[in-house]
């Protein structure tokens, strides 16, 4: 064996990685060539394409769910970072500022930490249920995200019963909380789980009743259609026709997402961490992630139902027409021919060099190489900004995504802001508020809206 082990041991770490990778590359190339020449690979590809074509709906669904699932992770990281930073600012602190620029990687490293922790199941716990609980919670949240329209044409699944689907699926998350609370074999967990059940079931009612006015106005349950109905200027948004519904919905959404001041489910100062007391490692991480993805989703739903979704608040076209400004940012890359190559090969180094020189002139104590590196970073920032502006001007999807993200993160900010301000309510106050006020207001809103719609129809008929 020493014939193989001795040269292997002499390799450096990089060599130990690169050498097998090279061998693998050679092997794959040979296999590909042989397969191509013998006609096996084209045949397999044809069969694969056939299967995909036959099951295009399933493939679309799987792709959408995967994309959404992947999307939730950075979203949760961003919102966790927002929470750390905003609450710190409200407390007159600086907050995370050590990992990454302005501490932006703090939540990511917290995620890694959670991954590295021991995944512990307490004695006496109902292990299968205990393991399934975070999965159920997380999946319920992710599946709810599937019907949210992010931009024109950018929606996981454009269902005609989108809103109903959303409420049905996101209501499942309480099952996960209950499972976690019940299976943990811990009184705090059980209390937290029961509180979660009581709270979410109570607040599900106003949460469902509040958008009924919007549904009556829009005449559809499709979230995409609801967004398109709100196109135009910002006064076309439903929040101005349904302010009461918006208030009820927002309060109920806060309770539904178990956010302060309605975070009685985890109430860390009362019942340790509620249903999540016994959880550790990535199973706790899933609960934690679900909470923050939930913040994103509830903000997104608020934006979709009441704040025009991906519609811009102002319509710039009449203004631009009035000012006789026309701007066509379309770039004909193919028509540039050889000049495109010259731009890429010579233009970029020249811009980097110029930026580096400017930095060097301003910071003469630095070495030129350091200035050049900073110039390169600046060039990248500049390029991303220019490409972003070009994309914003050229593609409707980018515009929609921009406005949608801006609005959603405004609401995420409000959620975090509320968490930084308001104290937790008592459980009986929570319950009586839902049953005595929110549901009544939501019902009143439905009747008033229905009456107004009838009135308008009657007036239009005459």
Partner 1 sequence: MSTFGKVPGYGLAMGMVHSLVRFFQPKVTVQYPEEVQEISPHHRGRLLLLYDEAGNLKCETCFQCAAACPIEIIDMGGVDTKNRYHVHWGPPEQYAERREESALRRSGRNVPDRVFNAWLPIDLGPLERILVANDYDPRRLLAILEATQAEYGHLPVAAIQHISHATGAWYSEIYGIATSYPNLAFEPGKVAEIGLCRCTTCTVLGGGRIRDALVDVLGTDVGGVTMDGAVRFVAVECGGDNGGEPLVTLDGQPQPGMTADKARTLAESLRAGAARAGTA
- Applying CB under 8 A, the residues found at the interface with partner 1 are 86, 89-94, 97, 417-418, 420-422
| Residue 146 vs 251, nearer CB to partner 1 | 251
Smallest distance from partner 1 to CB 420, Å: 5
**Secondary structure (DSSP) of 81-119:** HHHHHHHHHHTT-----SSSGGGTTHHHHHHHHHHHS--
Encode burial over 339-363: b for 16+ CB neighbours within 10 A, e otherwise: eeeeeeeeeeeebbeebbeebbeee
| Residue 38 vs 432, nearer CB to partner 1 | 432
Whole-Å CA distances, 265 to 28, 142, 183, 373: 53, 20, 16, 50
Token pair for 99? 């990992």
Residue 75 CB coordination number (10 Å) = 23
Residue 410 CB coordination number (10 Å) = 13
Q: Do residues 317 and 167 touch, judged by C-beta distance below 8 A?
A: no
Q: Do residues 188 and 274 touch, judged by C-beta distance below 8 A?
A: yes
Longest dimension (CA), the chain: 98
| Residue 55 vs 421, nearer CB to partner 1 | 421
Q: For residue 334, count CB atoms less than 10 angstroms from its CB and return exposed for 0-12, middle for 13-18, buried for 19 or more.
A: exposed
| Residue 79 vs 86, nearer CB to partner 1 | 86
Smallest distance from partner 1 to CB 250, Å: 12
| Residue 249 vs 275, nearer CB to partner 1 | 249
| Residue 89 vs 339, nearer CB to partner 1 | 89
| Residue 352 vs 434, nearer CB to partner 1 | 434
Smallest distance from partner 1 to CB 414, Å: 9
Smallest distance from partner 1 to CB 82, Å: 12
Encode burial over 50-60: b for 16+ CB neighbours within 10 A, e otherwise: eeeeeeeeeee
Smallest distance from partner 1 to CB 304, Å: 24
Give the Cα separation of 308 and 315 in Å (integer).
Answer: 13
Residues 6+ apart with CB under 8 A from 456: none
Give the Cα separation of 18 and 24 in Å (integer).
Answer: 10
Smallest distance from partner 1 to CB 251, Å: 10
Smallest distance from partner 1 to CB 95, Å: 8
Smallest distance from partner 1 to CB 264, Å: 18
Smallest distance from partner 1 to CB 320, Å: 34
| Residue 80 vs 136, nearer CB to partner 1 | 80
Give the Cα separation of 236 and 306 in Å (integer).
Answer: 10
Residue labelled with tokens 């190559």:
341
Q: Do residues 276 and 193 touch, judged by C-beta distance below 8 A?
A: no
Smallest distance from partner 1 to CB 419, Å: 10
| Residue 8 vs 89, nearer CB to partner 1 | 89
| Residue 92 vs 457, nearer CB to partner 1 | 92
Q: Do residues 293 and 257 touch, judged by C-beta distance below 8 A?
A: no
| Residue 171 vs 420, nearer CB to partner 1 | 420
Residues 6+ apart with CB under 8 A from 91: 420
Token pair for 351? 């811009």
Which 8-state DSSP code applies to residue 424?
A: P
Smallest distance from partner 1 to CB 101, Å: 15
């Amino acid at each position: 064996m020493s014939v193989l082990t001795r040269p292997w041991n002499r390799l450096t770490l990089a060599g130990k990685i690169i050498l097998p990778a090279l061998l693998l590359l050679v092997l794959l190339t040979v296999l590909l060539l042989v397969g191509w020449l013998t006609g096996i690979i084209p045949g397999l590809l044809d069969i694969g394409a056939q299967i995909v074509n036959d099951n295009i709906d399933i493939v679309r669904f799987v792709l959408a769910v995967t994309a959404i699932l992947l999307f939730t992770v950075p979203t949760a990281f961003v919102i966790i970072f927002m929470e750390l930073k905003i609450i710190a600012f409200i407390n007159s602190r600086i907050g995370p500022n050590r990992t990454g620029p302005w501490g932006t990687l703090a939540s990511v490293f917290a995620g890694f930490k959670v991954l590295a922790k021991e995944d512990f199941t307490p004695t006496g716990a109902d292990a299968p249920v205990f393991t399934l609980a975070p999965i159920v919670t997380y999946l319920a949240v992710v599946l709810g995200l599937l019907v949210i329209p992010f931009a024109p044409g950018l929606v996981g699944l454009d269902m005609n019963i989108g809103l109903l689907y959303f409420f049905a699926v996101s209501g499942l998350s309480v099952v996960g909380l209950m499972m976690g609370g019940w299976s943990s074999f811990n009184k705090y967990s059980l209390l937290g789980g029961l509180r979660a059940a009581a709270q979410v079931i109570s607040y599900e009612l106003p949460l469902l009743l509040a958008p009924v006015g919007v549904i009556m106005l829009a005449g559809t349950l499709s979230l995409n259609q609801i967004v398109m109905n709100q196109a135009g200027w910002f006064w076309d948004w439903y929040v101005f026709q349904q302010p009461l519904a918006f208030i009820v919905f927002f309060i109920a959404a806060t309770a539904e997402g178990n956010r302060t001041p309605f975070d009685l489910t985890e109430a860390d100062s009362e019942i340790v961490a509620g249903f999540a007391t016994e959880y550790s490692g990535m199973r706790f991480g899933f609960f934690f992630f679900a909470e923050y993805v939930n913040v994103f989703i509830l903000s997104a739903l608020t934006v979709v139902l009441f704040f025009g979704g991906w519609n811009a608040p102002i319509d710039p076209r009449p203004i631009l027409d009035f000012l006789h400004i026309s701007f066509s940012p379309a770039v004909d890359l193919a028509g540039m021919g050889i000049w495109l190559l010259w731009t890429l090969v010579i233009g970029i180094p020249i811009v980097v060099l110029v930026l580096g020189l400017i930095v060097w002139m301003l910071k003469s104590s630095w070495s030129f190489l350091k200035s050049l590196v900073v110039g390169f970073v600046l060039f990248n920032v500049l390029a991303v900004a220019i490409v972003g502006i070009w994309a914003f001007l050229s593609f409707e999807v980018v515009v929609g995504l921009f406005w949608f993200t801006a609005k959603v993160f405004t609401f995420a900010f409000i959620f975090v802001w509320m968490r930084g301000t308001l104290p937790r309510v008592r459980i009986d106050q929570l319950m009586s508020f839902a049953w005595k006020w929110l549901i009544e207001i939501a019902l009143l809103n439905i009747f008033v809206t229905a009456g107004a719609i009838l009135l308008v129809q009657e007036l239009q008929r005459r």
